[in-house]
Amino acid sequence: MMYIRTASEGDLEAVRALLVETWHATYDTIYGRDRVTEITDDWHATPTLKGRLKRPESEFILADDGEEIVGMAFAAAVDGGKTVMLHQLYVKPSHHGRGIGMMLVDEIEGCFPGASKVRLEVEEANSRAVGFYLRCGFTKIGTTANCGGEQSGIPAAIFEKPIAWAD
């Protein structure tokens, strides 16, 4: 049984471990191990994750099978609440293909009743993620040279999808 629940401070070390594992499994061949370690030490540090717990107009959720955290998502409302920016969605590689990512996307969509669309950035070389988002109904609407923040230097595609119940 898989449960989707809100993250708490007590979960942060397990979330960080999940992020480090998934980033190395996904991005070592794209950016190199040292660059991935640098990124995860910055973007996925426990104090950074802790700050997300208290961010207004955001949701930090976990997929928990009762024994371990196997997925996570973090999103925040932008554009006056009309758009949900999905900043993170990761599932442990050993749990890919089980519908966990879709459960997380569905839950995030339901957390923002005033929003009409979800937007995200994804590294185009991450073909597995690109394929997943396409299957979820996202469409590529553009690109950015700085995924995840100003001056990151990480190129990415920008994807978007309407929230079905918002139509």
Structure token pair of residue 20: 């480090």
- What stretches of 9-145 adopt beta strand conformation (E)? 58-64, 69-78, 83-91, 117-122, 139-144
pLDDT the model gives residue 166: 46
pLDDT the model gives residue 154: 75
β-strand pairing of 139-144 with 156-162: antiparallel
Chunked in runs of 10, what are the mean pLDDT values of the chain (167 residues)? Answer: 94 96 93 92 92 94 96 95 95 94 95 94 91 96 77 83 72
pLDDT the model gives residue 132: 95
Domain 3-166 has CATH 3.60.15.10: no
pLDDT the model gives residue 167: 46
β-strand pairing of 117-122 with 83-91: parallel
Domain boundary assignment for the chain: 3-166
| pTM score | 0.92
